[in-house]
Amino acid sequence: MAAKEKLEAVLNVALRVPSIMLLDVLYRWDVSSFFQQIQRSSLSNNPLFQYKYLALNMHYVGYILSVVLLTLPRQHLVQLYLYFLTALLLYAGHQISRDYVRSELESAYEGPMYLEPLSMNRFTTALIGQLVVCTLCSCVMKTKQIWLFSAHMLPLLARLCLVPLETIVIINKFAMIFTGLEVLYFLGSNLLVPYNLAKSAYRELVQVVEVYGLLALGMSLWNQLVVPVLFMVFWLVLFALQIYSYFSTRDQPASRERLLFLFLTSIAECCSTPYSLLGLVFTVSFVALGVLTLCKFYLQGYRAFMNDPAMNR
């Protein structure tokens, strides 16, 4: 049971980190200056410039969606990631099918596959890939109706039945359209889910505020979102990406002085937004807590942790 609780705590933090990263990216991206550059470059006929105000509104919608993802309950957040994973798997199935059809068109071989080893290898590879995609989608969505995710296998079945290659291209487009219609049907059938979630969340917030007050509500959200750990993990991810981007662009090893300069520069680069600065604050606080714990252990041993009040932290 303890392992399950620890796993849930890790998921509660890990699944919310992308929402803070999205907030950080939206803060860095200045939409107005982006379209001003397009206008100065005499590209007013650019389709992007015509959708300027739509992009500005979508920028603010991105903020709202990021905050919603940040405060979404863990169960719904896990379900949302599973839906996103299913969409990625369906896209992978589409790519496998498209690559297979393209390779068949390039080979221009329409005879039986067992007479052509290369054609048989392509068919076997694509079939295994599609079966893996269908199985994973069925497991993620927790359904036994695997045929819902097997539309991209139609070109393979058509090739097995010696259908002409031009017809296989049409069948592949039909499979893509059918999968898109399935996705649209799923989105349409769950169109009111965000509204119902927002309505129930508003009702619960009102009840908590009326009974316990705003302070209790803030403390409850603070504990549920694990804000210090969440922002610390977010900042450590930014710092790791900064270090990785530096070493990935260099071929020769850096000196000791260069490593110290890189360490300080990376810390400075990870403080350019309020979110990253807040992440550094919590990271420093945890480092200070670790140093304090080591000092207490060095001075008093295990006795220092017997009567350690949590409020002293």
DSSP 141-208: HT-S-GGGG-GGGHHHHHHHTT--HHHHHHHHHHHHHHHHHHHHHHHHHTTTHHHHHHHHHHHHHHHH
Residue 196 has pLDDT above 80, yes or no: yes
* DSSP code of residue 42: T
Average pLDDT, the chain: 83
Residues 168-189, mean pLDDT to the nearest whole number: 90
| Residue 95 banded pLDDT, cuts 50, 70, 90 | very high
* Residue 42 pLDDT: 47
Q: Look up the pTM and report it.
A: 0.79
Over pLDDT 70: what percentage of the chain? 85
Output the CA–CA distances (angstroms, integers) from residue 155 to 86, 132, 138, 164, in the order listed.
Answer: 21, 16, 20, 11
Paired tokens of 213:
């007050």
Element of type H or E holding 4: helix 2-14
Residues 175-192, mean pLDDT to the nearest whole number: 89
Residue 248 has pLDDT above 50, yes or no: yes
Lowest mean pLDDT among 21-25, 188-192, 299-303: 299-303
Paired tokens of 282:
């919590």
* Residue 61 pLDDT: 81
Residue 278 has pLDDT above 50, yes or no: yes
Residue 57 has pLDDT above 50, yes or no: yes
Residue 246 has pLDDT above 50, yes or no: yes
Paired tokens of 307:
């009567």
Q: How many CB atoms lie within 10 A of CB 251?
A: 5
| Residue 3 banded pLDDT, cuts 50, 70, 90 | confident
- pLDDT tens across 81-92, in order? 999 999 999 999
Report H helices in the chain.
2-14, 17-28, 31-40, 47-50, 52-71, 74-107, 117-141, 154-160, 165-189, 193-211, 214-225, 227-248, 256-269, 274-300
Residue 47 has pLDDT above 60, yes or no: no
Residue 185 has pLDDT above 70, yes or no: yes
* Residue 284 pLDDT: 93
